[in-house]
Structure 1
Amino acid sequence: MLERAAPHDHLNLTGGAIGGGMPLATGAALAFLGRKVVSLQGDGSAMYTPQALWTQARENLDVTTVIFANHSYRVLDEELDLLGAPAPGAQAAALLELDRPRLDWVRTAEGMGVEATRVHTTSDLEKALRSTFEHAGPGLIEAAIGRRPTQ
Structure 2
Amino acid sequence: DAVAPETNAPLAALTRPLLPTGALSAAAAADVIGALTPEGAIVVDESNTSGVPLAQATAGAPAHDWLTLTGGAIGYGIPAAVGAAIAAPDRPVLCLESDGSAMYTISGLWTQARENLDITTVVYNNGAYDILRIELHRVGAESAAGPKAQQLLDLTHPAMNFVKLSEGMGVPARRVTTAEEFADALRTAFAEPGPHLIDAVVPSMLG
Partner of 1:90: 147
Structure 1 runs not aligned, ≥5 long: none
**1:146 aligns to 2:203 (yes or no):** yes
The residue matched to 2:133 in structure 1 has which SS? helix
Flag the structure with larger Rg.
Answer: 2
The residue matched to 1:126 in structure 2 has which SS? helix
Displacement of 1:123 in angstroms is 1.5
Counterparts of 1:86 and 1:123 in 2: how far apart (Å)?
36
Is the CA contact (8 Å cut-off) linking 1:56 and 1:63 kept in structure 2?
Answer: yes
**1:61 aligns to 2:117 (yes or no):** yes
Displacement of 1:149 in angstroms is 2.4
Partner of 1:10: 66
Counterparts of 1:96 and 1:55 in 2: how far apart (Å)?
28
Could you report, residue by residue, the CA deviation over 1:91-137 in whole angstroms, capped at 9, with x for unpaired residues? 11111111122100000000000000000011211111001011110
Partner of 1:41: 97
Alignment identity in percent? 49
Counterparts of 1:86 and 1:127 in 2: how far apart (Å)?
39
Is the CA contact (8 Å cut-off) linking 2:127 and 2:204 kept in structure 1?
Answer: yes
Alignment of 1:125-144 (within 5 A): 125-144=182-201
* Backbone CA RMSD of aligned residues: 1.2
Counterparts of 1:96 and 1:113 in 2: how far apart (Å)?
28
Counterparts of 1:147 and 1:53 in 2: how far apart (Å)?
25
Is the CA contact (8 Å cut-off) linking 1:13 and 1:21 kept in structure 2?
Answer: no
Aligned residues: 150
- TM-score, length of structure 1 as denominator length: 0.94
Could you report, residue by residue, the CA deviation over 1:34-93 in whole angstroms, capped at 9, with x for unpaired residues? 211001111011011101101100100000000010111111111212222133221111
Partner of 1:99: 156
Partner of 2:21: none
Detail structure 1 runs of 4+ shifted over 3 Å in the superposition. Answer: none
Is the CA contact (8 Å cut-off) linking 2:113 and 2:195 kept in structure 1?
Answer: yes
Query: Residue 113 of structure 1 is aligned with which of 170, 177, 181?
Result: 170
The amino acid across from 1:30 in the alignment is I
Query: Which deviates more from structure 2 when the two are superposed, residues 76-85 or residues 59-68?
Result: 76-85
Displacement of 1:146 in angstroms is 1.8
Alignment of 1:12-27 (within 5 A): 12-27=68-83
Counterparts of 1:83 and 1:58 in 2: how far apart (Å)?
43
The amino acid across from 1:44 in the alignment is G
Counterparts of 1:126 and 1:7 in 2: how far apart (Å)?
20
